[in-house]
Amino acid sequence: MQNRKYKVMYILGSGHCGSTLLGLLLGSHSQIMSLGEVHNINEDDVLCTCGARPSDGVFWGDIVKALPSHSIKIHKKKQDFLFDKGDAYYMETGDSVSEEKYRNTYKKIYKKALEKSGKRIIASSASPERVGILSRDDEIEPIVVHLVRDGRAVTWSYLKKGRDFFSAAMRWFGTNIKIELVKRRTP
C-alpha cells in the first residue's frame, strides 16, 4: 500500500451511541486530532467545544472560510448505497455533488487541521455514506471504528426526544447495517 497523506479514524455508530465522547477521549492523545462532526462545521447554529461558532474561532476560523458556504452533509439513495451503485450523492439542498469535489473539500479540512494541531491522526464522527466516499481516495487511509450501543438504550434515547418506537429501532438497525457494509468495502 502506498504511503497515504491523511490517516483518519472514522467513528461510526447510530445516533446516541457515544461517538462524541469517544472522539473527545481519542482527542486527548498526543498524536490524535479529534474533529468531531465535521459535516456541521460551516452551519451557523453549531458551536465548537470552546463555546464559539467555528467560523469565529481561533482554530476553525480560516478552515471554515475555505469551505463552501452550504452544508457539506450528503445523502445517497438507499438502494444505490446498498448495492454500491451510482456516484450520485446529494447535498441537503438537493443538489448533486461529485465524489472528487466532496473528497477535496474534506482533504482541505484535514490538511489545515493537521497543520494547525501538529498531530498525525484525525478522529472524526462520520456517516457511512461519507466514509464510503472518503475511503476511496488514494490520499486517505481510513480506520473504521464501529461503535455499537445496545439498541434498547438508543431507542429509549430517541423515544425521549419524541420519536416513535418503530422508527427509532429501525434507525438503529439500518445505520448499523450500513456501517457493516462500509467496513467490508473499506480497505
Taking only the tens place, the pLDDT of each residue in 94-151 is: 566 778 888 888 898 899 889 989 999 999 988 888 898 898 899 999 999 999 999 9
* Radius of gyration of the chain measured on its C-alpha atoms: 16
E strands of 24-133, at which residues?
32-36, 74-75, 89-91, 96-97, 121-125
Kindly tell me if the per-residue pLDDT of 158 is higher than 60.
Answer: yes
Question: How do strand 96-97 and strand 121-125 relate by DSSP bridges?
Answer: unpaired
Tell me: the pLDDT tens digits for 90-103? Answer: 555 556 677 888 88
Give the separation between CA 164 and CA 179, rounded to whole angstroms.
23
DSSP annotation of 50 reads T
